[in-house]
Chains A and B, each alone.
Chain A
Amino acid sequence: GAGVSQSPSNKVTEKGKDVELRCDPISGHTALYWYRQRLGQGLEFLIYFQGNSAPDKSGLPSDRFSAERTGESVSTLTIQRTQQEDSAVYLCASSFYGTPRTDTQYFGPGTRLTVL
């Protein structure tokens, strides 16, 4: 079946503009995650959605970052008033959260964001 998809694949924006990144998880996956990978750095957890529960926003770096998810489907990550340090690859992953054995996260190809 189809994997995790993300759009756009590349986004170039000017400092101060808002951007929206989209993630389509694997159908039936209850959990959805956003990560960020800045150049030369490891992956950094941002936010986690599980079913209809309130999202875990503990990893969001500032209040300029927000994310939404409708049920167990599409998610959008919004960055307001972008700064140059927001430049990174933003990766989305989904999993069927239930037991440790089924918790494998499947990643999308990412959105490369460049803030000029």
Chain B
Amino acid sequence: KQEVTQIPAALSVPEGENLVLNCSFTDSAIYNLQWFRQDPGKGLTSLLLIQSSQREQTSGRLNASLDKSSGRSTLYIAASQPGDSATYLCAVRRSGGGADGLTFGKGTHLIIQP
């Protein structure tokens, strides 16, 4: 059974810092990996999707990497802003895609101090 772990569980940093969120998964047979953010009282917003054949994806100040063989992904946030405060979730979909939904980690609760 796939298990996804996110470290740290919580992080508080001053505005402007660069930071890295970590995600690990136990089964490397994945279809893709997705990073989401969740704001209080709201649904999830997709940030980046990395296909199993890719090593990284970038969107603005965000960069996500994937090392499938070691079962790891990182989300790099450059020049953090207070608006980046949210819970960041990592999720994987197993190889074969359509057999089931995403397996999520419990998230990293990020606070950017103004």
Contact = CB atoms under 8 A, between A and B. Distances in A.
Contacts, number: 70
Contact of A106 (B4, B46, B89): B46
A48 B100 contact: yes
A86 B4 CA distance: 23
Interface residues of B, number: 28
Interface string B87-111: 0010101000111111111110000
A110 B98 CA distance: 22
A100 B31 contact: yes
B108 to A, nearest CB: 12
A45 B102 contact: yes
B100 A58 contact: yes
> Which among B34, B36, B98 has the highest number of chain A CB atoms within 10 Å?
B98
A56 B99 contact: yes
A26 to B, nearest CB: 12
A59 B53 CA distance: 27
Interface stretch (A13-21, A35-43, A63-71, A76-84): A35-43
A6 B81 CA distance: 30
B42 interface: yes
B32 interface: yes
Contact of B101 (A35, A101, A110): A35
Contact of B52 (A4, A35, A100, A104): A100
Given A4-B43, A42-B105, A104 B49 contact: yes
Interface of B: 4, 31-32, 34, 36, 42-46, 49, 51-53, 89, 91, 93, 97-107
13 contacts: A33-B102, A42-B104, A45-B100, A48-B101, A56-B98, A59-B100, A100-B31, A100-B32, A100-B52, A100-B97, A104-B49, A105-B46, A107-B45
